[in-house]
Chains A and B, each alone.
Chain A
Amino acid sequence: MPVARVTSIVELIQARMPDVLAELRRSHPGSLDLLSEGLVMGDKAMAPGSAVYCALARSGLQVAHKEIADILRDLPLRARYAKRIRLIGSIVAALMSAGVVTSAIFSTKEVTIITALLSFVVTVGSSAASHLETPLFGTNGIAELTEECLRLEMETQKAEFELQYQLSLENADCINAATTVNDICAKLRRLSVFGDVNRS
């Protein structure tokens, strides 16, 4: 049987909504160990079926929803910035070509310097645009990141159904739901910490 983990839920809540985590700690004073930041680096037995898992799964889903929404809002914004920089870059490049012609005709030192400077600005602008379009790690562009977020959104919905179903049962066992939510939260934290998305 897989070992249930909730560390990523705790980390995500702590990073995005520390108040929610503080509230969880207040309402479950017996599970402070579980609700602390950091991974326990050993094989620790967990008390199954505890109410704290249900609460964690619920709060985790709530924060995950918000996180995904934030990232999805942020990504098109970045795409728009990148596009704008590219447009400006191409306009300047067009102007520059005119500068090169002038420089060739009059062979003035000033025009040559200005042309070279503009060329430099265009190169920098193009690099900035590329940077905005790609994340820090991996080869995924904005489109792939958006796709990943949408997939996570779908997984969140599924996890929500699972949690609701578990909560409707008399002996609610939220371990499975908490594990699924932990997986979603881990992916979100990975995007945040190493993906240069909505970085914290």
Chain B
Amino acid sequence: MSIRRTKFLIALVAVLIVNSAYMPSPEAGLLSLFEKGLMKAGEEATEKAATSAGRRALRTGVHAGTFTERAAAVAASIALPTGALYVEREGDRLITWIIGKQQGPSINLAEPNWQSKLQSLAVQTKDLPAPAIVFDYPTARSLRSEARAAQLLHDLYVVDELGRFYPLRNIPEVGFVLELKPSLVVPISDPPPSLQILSYLDASVDTSKLHFITTMTKNDADSLRRLATNAGDKLIPLEDLRHTGNLVLPGTEGSLTIFIGHVEGDGFAIRLPDGTLAEKIGFDVIEDAAAKQQLSVLFVGCNTYACSGISGTTREVRDTEIAEALTKIMGAQSNADLIEQFGTRTHPFVISNDSLSVAADRLQMRLYSLPDGARTARTGAIGLRLSGYLPSPADPGIWVVFLWLFGAGVVVARTINYFDDSSLRQSFGRVYPSISNRLVAPRRHRLQSTVRELVYMSFAPLTSIYLVFVVVLSAFNFSVSAWSKRDDVMESAWSLLIVPHLVALGLAIFLSDYLVLFAPVALSFTAIYFISEGALLSLGVSLCVAFLVYMYRPAILVELDRAQLAGALWITKRHNHRFVSAAYLSLKTLPVVVSAGFIGWMFVILE
């Protein structure tokens, strides 16, 4: 075995050991995209456990026998401030509970000014700058038919059966709505959003499953250009989709397709520049096509909620506004952020359970099916790792190693695709989401798509190997299998090509944290060795220290992070958030910088 190959193997083993000893803390891995993915998994799991425990208590409370018990459960679950009012309907009466006081009077809905009486009960206190009224879901739903309910002026809230709270608003075009985001609402006439819908809205945007279709034609040249420039190759004109006469929407199962166009009555209308109607496509036709292909569609045009009755805008819109929204969409953090862009605070975008159920269900199904391939992937991964130790028959130069890695990567990529045919491509799609539209810049489009494909083909095998590497590590170290979070892991690997500096910073923090964990072990070994000169004793003590460090590593890293943050605040005197951030990052990477300096100095001394 040549020296080069030996060095490579030593480096590989060293990296494995370094990574194996690491357990990320919540803040430590702030900037490392790799850690971020795994961290998110851990956080989600904790949050899920915490909220489900809290909700269970609330659910028990909400379903409790008496009004008093329910009111107490609601008040406790969200820490409602003193003075707020909890209201339920019983026949024609509203029964009330003033938080922090006692049961309030009941109000008869037949009274002419019942809404004023209700409002006067909610008291303004120092905990509560504006009086708040909380309804249970059936009450809020039934009040929409009460004429005077629209005159309720206080901060209104709704609690549903699962114990989730929403602000309640009254929008003239829709009536009472639950506010999910300032510009994204669900009408109260609908059932409350299901857990699937909520987790879909919270999920990060999967741009590989996002498509825009427009009914604009080249006759609307400027409008089409504006949309195509901002949406890139995600935008497809409707006329391109109907070569066979049938409407075939782009995207795979579970995609979200947003239809943008000029709305007239119950569908999109395509008009010629002289005003004559060229074609009309009904919302029902689009929905049928979407249902057949297992996709979700949203309609964007003027007042599409009123026209389609399912989802959409509640105002008149121009293509210029939509084009502007499209630029923001490309940077949206979650699906809710994405959809929200089509609405405004005063005229929010309306969604319903039905409008997103297909995409949400498919996402859930995919999440459930994620761990299925874990065991096989791990076995394959360990096999691959072991095969790395086998001597190569050819000249073991670095190029051979790379080629071997690439070849192995191709096999791994194919294996990953076998278990999950969309993960690799989709994670790439999310990181490199959009290129120029074919209509606006055809040459640039061709060039960019070729480059994109080349980048994909060159790096997909390496990304796959990276995934396997992390899956193997997660089998030893992490509470959550990296296979179940493979989308995040691969996304971070793809990001290496775009934001190497951030990833380098993340790696520096990663190594620094490891050094801090390793320091007590090394120090204890050295100290005992010098004191007693007994190698066995010092090894035993350092092993004990290593065990303790291993047991308490999350707590140590959290404390270290707190200290580093406090240090950064003290150094910068909170002068400017940029200085604070720079000082914090410097302190976080200090151990690795000091160690590098020390090693360099040692080299100089030795020479």
Q: List 21 A-B contacts (CB under 8 A).
A: A2-B277, A3-B275, A8-B221, A8-B273, A11-B222, A38-B226, A39-B262, A39-B318, A40-B302, A41-B260, A41-B302, A41-B317, A42-B263, A42-B316, A179-B275, A182-B273, A183-B272, A187-B273, A192-B221, A193-B218, A193-B221
The reply to whether B439 and A186 contact each other, CB–CB distance below 8 Å, is no
Contact between chains at B264 and A193 (CB < 8 Å) = no
Minimum distance in angstroms from A149 CB to a CB of chain B? 16
Q: Given A43-B302, A44-B302, A194-B218, are A38 and B223 neighbors across the interface (CB < 8 Å)?
A: yes
In the bound complex, residues from chain A placing their C-beta under 8 Å from that of B442 are 136
Please tell me if A4 contacts chain B, counting CB pairs below 8 Å.
Answer: yes
As a 0/1 sequence over residues 1 to 29 of chain A, the CB contacts with chain B under 8 angstroms (1 = contact) are 01111011001000100000000000000
Contact with B222, one of A3, A4, A37 (Cβ below 8 angstroms): A37
B window 200-258: CB within 8 A of A = 216, 218-226
B232 to chain A, nearest CB (A): 17
User: Residue-by-residue, is A170-187 near B (CB-CB < 8 Å gives 1, otherwise 0)?
Assistant: 000000000110110111
Tell me the smallest distance from the CB of B324 to a CB of chain A, in Å: 10
- Size category of the B interface is 35 or more
Q: Note all chain A residues with C-beta closer than 8 A to B216.
A: 39
Judge whether A123 is part of the interface by a CB distance below 8 angstroms: no
Encoded as 1 (CB less than 8 Å from any A CB) or 0, chain B from 250 to 287 comes to: 00000000001111110001011111110000000000
Q: Report if A190 contacts B (CB, 8 A).
A: yes
**B322 on the A face (CB < 8 A):** yes
In contact, A186 and B316 (Cβ under 8 angstroms): no
- A interface residues with partner B (beta carbon < 8 Å): 2-5, 7-8, 11, 15, 36-44, 136, 179-180, 182-183, 185-187, 189-190, 192-194
Q: Which of A11, A179, A192, A193 has the most CB of B within 10 A?
A: A193
Most chain B CB neighbours (cut-off 10 Å) among A5, A39, A43: A39
CA distance A37 to B226 in the complex (A): 11
Complex CA gap A74/B160 in Å reads: 67
Residue in B222, B263, B317 with the greatest tally of chain A CB atoms within 10 Å: B222
Q: Is B24 an interface residue (CB 8 A)?
A: no
Neighbouring B residues of A3 by C-beta, 8 Å:
271, 275
Contact assessment for B271 and A42 in the assembled complex, using a CB-CB cutoff below 8 Å = no
With A36-B318, A40-B316, A42-B303 known to touch, is A183 a contact of B274 (CB < 8 Å)?
yes
A-contacting residues, B372-398, CB 8 Å: none
Nearest B-chain residue to A192, judged by Cβ: B221
Selected from B226, B269, B273, the residue in CB contact (under 8 A) with A183 is B273
B264→A190 contact, CB < 8 A: no
B244 to chain A, nearest CB (A): 22
Cβ A42 vs Cβ B274 within 8 A: no
Q: List 4 A-B pairs, minimum CB-CB distance, nearest first.
A: A42-B302, A186-B273, A2-B275, A38-B320
B301 beta carbon closer than 8 Å to chain A: yes
> Once the chains bind, are A43 and B263 in contact (CB under 8 Å)?
yes
Which residues does chain B contribute within 8 Å of A194, judged by CB atoms? 218, 221, 439
CB atoms of A41 and B221 under 8 A apart: no
Q: Give B residues with C-beta under 8 Å from A.
A: 216, 218-226, 260-265, 269, 271-277, 300-303, 316-322, 439, 442
Complex Cα distance A180/B276, Å?
12
Q: Are B218 and A38 in contact (CB under 8 A)?
A: no
Which of B225, B226, B275, B322 meets A5, CB within 8 Å?
B275
A4 touches B275 (CB 8 A): yes
B221 touches A2 (CB 8 A): no
A41 to B318, CA, bound (A): 6
Is A42's CB under 8 angstroms from B321's CB?
no
Query: What chain A residues lie within 8 Å of B219 (beta carbons)?
Result: 186, 190
8 Å CB contact of B318 from A38, A180, A189: A38
User: 15 more A-B contacts (CB under 8 A) besides A5-B273, A42-B316, A186-B221?
Assistant: A2-B275, A5-B274, A38-B226, A39-B319, A40-B316, A40-B317, A41-B262, A41-B319, A42-B262, A42-B303, A44-B302, A182-B274, A190-B221, A194-B218, A194-B221
Cα–Cα distance between A186 and B322 once the two chains are bound (Å): 20
A43 touching B265 in the complex, CB below 8 Å, given contacts A2-B276, A183-B273: yes
The 8 Å CB contact of A38, one of B261, B269, B321, is B321
Residues on A with beta carbons closer than 8 Å to the beta carbon of B262: 39, 41-42
Complex Cα distance A15/B225, Å?
A: 13
